[in-house]
Structure 1
């Protein structure tokens, strides 16, 4: 068993997540695909206070990322939309591992959040067969209580999507365009349903590749009825030397055998990264608290009076640590980027090195959000506000 310091564990995690990676392939589009394939999924989210989470997460790993990349990769049939622990873009090469969930939903073994209306689903499917790709709004009707009212047909579309009859062939203004699965899948994709053991091994290897170290509960995060099987297969893989155990602060984690090699690879921690709340790196809040001592909760789902940091606070990474959170709003019509609340951790000391890196990253993030002017409204603790006043991007607060 390898004993790792907390700092060593953090380096392995950050290296595995490729947040600070400077590796470049032949083109920005290839970099984007490589990141999706390495991470295993990119969560999709609709909140648009700043650039949506799927774009934000990829931009943080590819400075030349363009929002058109995802559309292009979907069009090229290299990625597709389905469910990970949440709605996500997934690598097309991993398609077959979605079949277990799809079959379970189709056979009624796993409950979907909508009731099954087989008559309406059949009608919806027939229309798409005959007319080609359609959006939910294509089924709208002006008739009251019509079977084609948008809400029931949207549910039917989603049910057909979740059980695998339909796929998302593209999006138009962020609206899903549904088509028959056989018209979307590349002809060379493996569609053989994996065994349950193959599926669990896939979950384990995918998670550890992207996250460096992990426990059964983390690997099975929001995947119902999998933790027991994950625990069993983890022990078998460890016994067969496919995995190794590392210990951090007295707690055992699993890792791939080559994870320790990441400690010998250099990477620059001296860059600020402004992260999405739905970034793969920090989506598991308990893990962030235990391994990075960062107690993070997204507050957009709370009443305003109960928010401590703001509606959509973005964690700030610096020197391998999570040191602050920024509640941001990109006002695109006026090109003004609002930092409504910039809150630093209580033990953080502002250095000149941080200020230079922070200014650079904020400027890049503003450009990414199509903004030219910055307004900073509140800083916590207030003493740090004075230390920021000599920064060119904060001329008049």
Structure 2
């Protein structure tokens, strides 16, 4: 059995390379999403929407958010699922895994509301694509949660059916989603996978995106951070236990660069891994009272070479036409070269946003 023995520097470089945050930059939007497997959709746009920030961090200022919309809604080279944008080839495994792991409460609610499901499908067949507000609530039993309105029953049904691949998100009107039949949205030749094959493929794809990860651990809401038995075993100096590493990334030459990251970026999404490999503490503080924040409402982690070196507290003030830099928090003392590289990225971010830098950049 192969066991790779890695330094923390080697492990960090594998993770950065896997996430396409080394040099040179990638150039193809769809290829980036295929490698990352997903873009998380989050409505917060203190600087820019997270999906756009993730792509800008990789592609640079040549990235146009309109190109992402086109890829999803016109070309169908990418697809939107509930909470994520994904590469279409991953859909069979995602759907099979979700179906097998559906919470019993949700499964029971769907079974009791079978007439509601049929009504939704009949309406979409006849009139789709439709917004949720255009779909009546014919639920037999409301979702078992206090304070939910009738419209939330519709949303719960639509999202549940979309996760199962029974319906699909075909586009957006602002923040509202259009819903339709999957055969009008997804590629026609997608295979059907059993759950065992789906889990194996998902683990392999996740490891290819992360480079190095734990086999298993505490599951949190959202996309898993764990990769099962994918890849090969590794030991990383100064960290407990064993890891799984993508063997193709071991020993590759590394050329780092400087990048500003979304708080939802997959490089730092697993906070435990981030602390163990990078020695980097991070918490998204948008939910904290202002007086209790250390780094800012939507602080962007700063990557320099193979280290996470600080956080950028900035806000896009579109009315004033400025990217307001409230602070650059240095986790390590910036050298003149590091400071210049970070300032260059801030300027690039502002240029991409069509804003001028204001503040302490």
Q: What TM bracket, shorter-length normalisation? A: 0.7 to 0.9
Residue 15 of structure 1 corresponds to which residue in structure 2? 17
d(CA) in 1 for partners of 2:212, 2:224: 21
Q: Confirm whether residue 160 of structure 1 aligns to residue 149 of structure 2.
A: no
Choose which of 248, 271, 276 in structure 2 pairs with 1:258: 248
Bigger Rg, which one: 1
Residue 364 of structure 1 corresponds to which residue in structure 2? 348
d(CA) in 1 for partners of 2:223, 2:297: 29
Query: What is the CA deviation profile of residues 261-284 of structure 1, one whole-angstrom value per residue up to 9, with x for unaligned ones?
Result: 32xx231x2x32111000111111
Question: Does structure 1 retain, via aligned residues, the 8 Å contact 2:5–2:237?
Answer: yes
Question: Does structure 1 retain, via aligned residues, the 8 Å contact 2:92–2:198?
Answer: no
Choose which of 39, 46, 53 in structure 2 pairs with 1:56: 53
d(CA) in 2 for partners of 1:258, 1:43: 26
Residue 67 of structure 1 corresponds to which residue in structure 2? 65
Give how far 1:162 is off. 2.2
* Pair 1:338–1:114, CA change in 2 (3 A): farther
Report the TM-score, using the length of structure 1 for normalisation.
0.78
Question: Does structure 1 retain, via aligned residues, the 8 Å contact 2:79–2:186?
Answer: no
Give how far 1:100 is off. 1.8
d(CA) in 2 for partners of 1:130, 1:356: 58
Unaligned ranges ≥5, structure 2: 138-148
* Pair 1:293–1:311, CA change in 2 (3 A): same
For the residue of structure 1 that corresponds to 2:179, the secondary structure is strand
Residue 296 of structure 2 corresponds to which residue in structure 1? 310
d(CA) in 2 for partners of 1:114, 1:51: 38
Q: Confirm whether residue 5 of structure 1 aligns to residue 7 of structure 2.
A: yes
Question: Does structure 1 retain, via aligned residues, the 8 Å contact 2:97–2:199?
Answer: no
Question: Does structure 1 retain, via aligned residues, the 8 Å contact 2:40–2:85?
Answer: yes
Query: What is the CA deviation profile of residues 171-220 of structure 1, one whole-angstrom value per residue up to 9, with x for unaligned ones?
Result: 22232111011221222222x12341x22321321122122212112696
d(CA) in 2 for partners of 1:266, 1:308: 32
Q: How many residues were matched structurally?
A: 343
Residue 141 of structure 2 corresponds to which residue in structure 1? none
Give how far 1:221 is off. 5.9
Q: Confirm whether residue 32 of structure 1 aligns to residue 22 of structure 2.
A: no
* Pair 1:104–1:173, CA change in 2 (3 A): same
Give how far 1:306 is off. 2.4
* Pair 1:35–1:225, CA change in 2 (3 A): closer
* Pair 1:342–1:95, CA change in 2 (3 A): same
d(CA) in 2 for partners of 1:207, 1:219: 16
Choose which of 307, 317, 335 in structure 2 pairs with 1:351: 335
